[in-house]
Amino acid sequence: MKNWTFRQWNTLLGWVIFVIAFFTYLSTIEPNFSFWDCGEYISSAVKLEVTHAPGAALFQIVGAVAAIFAFGNGENYSIVINGMSALFSAFTILFLFWTITHLVRRLLNKDFEEVTKHQEISILFAGAVGTLCFTFSDTFWFSAVEGEVYSMASMFIALLVWLITKWENEYKDAASERWIILIFFILGLSVGVHMMCMLAIPAVCLVYYARNYKFTWKNFIWANLITLGILIIVFKIIFPLIMTMFGRLEIFFVNGLGLPFHSGTIVAFILMVAICYFLIKYARKSKRNVFQTIALSIVYMIIGFSCWMVIPIRANANPPMNLNDPDTAIGMLDYYNREQYGDWPTIYGQNYTAFLDAKGIEKNEDGSFKTVKTGDIYEKDEKTGTYRKTGDRFNYVFNKSHVSLMPRMFSEDKQVMSNYISMYGAPDFTFNYDNADIADDPQAKQIFEELRAKYEDGTITASDYLKVKPYDLINVQKPSLAQNMDYFITFQNGYYFVRYLFWNFVGRQNDLEGSTENTRGNWISGISFIDDAMWGNQEAMPAKYKNESTVKFFFLPLILGLIGFFFQLNRDFGRFYAMLSIFILMSVGIIFYTGVKPFEPRERDYAMVGSFYVFAIWIGLGAGAILWLLQSKVKSNAANIVAGVVLLGVPFMMGFQNYNVHNRHNRYTSYDYGYSILKSLPKNDILFVYGDNDTYPVWAIQETERFRDDVKVVNFTLASTPWNLDQVKRRTYNAAGI
């Protein structure tokens, strides 16, 4: 082994760390399904059922293959799918290690064969430190031990980034473009797991730019514009356009030409094949390599995206869990666009005050709300063999006085509006003298004065505004741009993203869900004077706020990450910028796009795992920077190895502290909850449930073990939807329809 090359050591150590991660996750996986979406995803994987929009087609397909290893024993399905998550998480760690060692090597501008022994030690230790810090980080470990999509999504993000490093190693070769084509195929597949995987596109494009072009401001601006264009084309044009084409052709061929259901879908599929054929033919005819690469990349991305076909195929089979019933091209378009969740403003739109003011939504002359049509709603009519239009999709037209740039506080939910008010104070208002019905009414003015008194003493609530709204008594002022920006920066990014980042790389106070209190869910470091200054005396905190989730890393992983951040910024701006794009898009970008509200039903750190992945890369680069500094002072391999071992103490400190936190090998709470509820019911009973944690444990135990499948489960949240009413009427297993 003394004569091994760096490439061989790099490969071996990557697999060693893979084994460490896989063993860690396997030893801590939950033996059954846990709360939230796990029961849903495990059921959908085992029996290829349809989950909530926009689905996870590839996760279901791979999960169905993995379920074979349960050998038909219903009690084993959950642990097999959880084990699948552990495997994907370990592969994430493997790809991360090779990515870190590549980026550290590029800081030296060295090819594999040019790396010296001194550098080899630094690079391998840097990869190990960064990778193991991510292995033992809070958010990633949480997703690694349960049957959810985020472990598989993380693997695809890591795989996409690693593949562009493979291209970079061979970029001079004539066949190097095969890696680009493979990247876009993987990208198409990854959309069948989670949409956030598309946010790795900018990193791929920017590494391509960094390898091929020298930095100039002109090149840099063009690279950003082209990268943004590719992301928009993939995210907002190619995939949505495919779904729209299938939907519109289905309507035309069924309603317009009187052909059977799915005729338009078949024609659309043939048309897609023809488009792909002529695209490749034209590219080959042009004899230009760049056109051929683009054409093949698009075609292979569409081939990867075709995994979505499993969703309408299974929806047509009417499985017991068939959310949204997307059994046609029309249904699939709505499913992909997540129509059931509605729309919300991002850059420009209404503020929440539009729902407190009687004039917040514009009205027509007949008193109805003014709307803008955005589409048609169709329902499949089996009797007539057509799609029957049942309504319009529309958006309200909001009064300009309540519309602004960056409307971060926009929710119409009463509880959320109350939270906005508690955080930024109640919106100011004036008497509405334009309303002739109340302008001279003494009683109206008395109500206004009482309302004003509540406003002045700070006791006014959202309910008070809503009580007077029907009378058009007041003109409510919208939040200022400064308030919206403060909410975006200090709460959405500060309280959510920065707090989650610090949970992973500084320490965590406890696992209690936080609402900005000093005692619940904050980050702590273990350095008393800092923690006490931030959250009060931690030693005096009641015992109920201290649990096994209390971990303290003394800022060490964060400091390593910041060293790596600035080290890469200074030495390799092109690749730094590529990594920064993922870090920002998968943190600030996700928060901006989703418009996080105060306070969510659960902590959302899992959605930002991609940004923590990038920070782990910077931790590895930080370790490499320290080792290089030592190497420049002390020319000794032994000293380098000792320093590397000391740096490995940081991830192992994280691992030892987080092990009990994430060890779920004996947790059965969710399973016992579902079991106990079903066990207590009489034969052939009907069970009414409400939210996710009421429903999914019950569904999961029925679907995986067929336990008490004589009980009909009805979800109140979905009961008003036509597709759910149809399903409730159908027999499922031994439960009669209603």
Q: Strand ranges (DSSP E) for 263-405?
A: 348-350, 371-381, 386-396, 403-405
Determine the pLDDT at residue 400. 94
pLDDT in tens, 255-283: 999 899 989 999 999 999 999 999 999 99
Of 653, 620, 631, which Cα lies nearest the Cα of 127? 620
* DSSP characters over 652-707: HHHHHHHHHHH--TT--HHHHHHHHHHHTSPTT-EEEE-SHHHHHHHHHHHHHH-T
Give me the sign of the Cα torsion angle 452, 458, 464, 470. Answer: positive
DSSP letter at 549 equals T
Q: What tokens does 294 get?
A: 């683009």
% of residues, the chain, pLDDT over 90: 64
Determine the pLDDT at residue 640. 86
pLDDT in tens, 98-125: 999 999 998 887 676 677 888 888 999 9
Determine the pLDDT at residue 213. 87
Determine the pLDDT at residue 112. 66
Tell me the C-alpha distance between 699 and 570, whole Å. Answer: 53
Q: Match 């397909």 to its residue by tokens.
A: 61
Q: Where are the alpha helices (DSSP H) in 538-608?
A: 556-571, 573-584, 590-594
Determine the pLDDT at residue 588. 95
* DSSP characters over 2-63: TT--HHHHHHHHHHHHHHHHHHHHHHH--SS--TTTHHHHHHHHHHT-B-STT--HHHHHHH
- Is the bond leading into 260 cis (omega within 30 degrees of zero)? no
Q: Match 């997307």 to its residue by tokens.
A: 326
Say if residue 90's pLDDT is above 80.
yes
pTM for the complete prediction? 0.93
Determine the pLDDT at residue 692. 82
Burial of 41 (0-12, 13-18, 19+ CB in 10 A): buried
pLDDT band at 68 (very low <50, low <70, confident <90, very high): very high
Burial of 127 (0-12, 13-18, 19+ CB in 10 A): buried
Instruction: Give the residue-averaged pLDDT of 167-191.
Output: 91
Say if residue 1's pLDDT is above 80.
no
pLDDT band at 438 (very low <50, low <70, confident <90, very high): confident
pLDDT band at 254 (very low <50, low <70, confident <90, very high): very high
Determine the pLDDT at residue 287. 82
Instruction: Give the residue-averaged pLDDT of 301-319.
Output: 92
Instruction: Give the residue-averaged pLDDT of 64-84.
Output: 92
Name the residue type at position 341: Y
pLDDT band at 3 (very low <50, low <70, confident <90, very high): low
Determine the pLDDT at residue 327. 87
Higher-pLDDT residue of 514 and 145 is 145
pLDDT in tens, 386-414: 998 888 889 999 999 999 999 999 999 99
pLDDT band at 600 (very low <50, low <70, confident <90, very high): confident
Q: Match 């190497």 to its residue by tokens.
A: 631
- Is the bond leading into 505 cis (omega within 30 degrees of zero)? no
Tell me the C-alpha distance between 240 and 189, whole Å. Answer: 15
Determine the pLDDT at residue 622. 96
Tell me the C-alpha distance between 262 and 386, whole Å. Answer: 11
Q: How far is CA 617 from CA 488, 531, 686, in A?
A: 27, 27, 51
Instruction: Give the residue-averaged pLDDT of 645-655.
Output: 95
Determine the pLDDT at residue 82. 94
Tell me the C-alpha distance between 324 and 17, whole Å. Answer: 41
Determine the pLDDT at residue 301. 94
Determine the pLDDT at residue 602. 86
Name the residue type at position 647: L
pLDDT in tens, 449-469: 999 999 999 999 999 999 999
Residues across the chain: 738
Most confident of 87-96, 120-129, 502-511, 714-723: 87-96
Tell me the C-alpha distance between 11 and 223, whole Å. Answer: 32
Tell me the C-alpha distance between 9 and 1, whole Å. Answer: 9
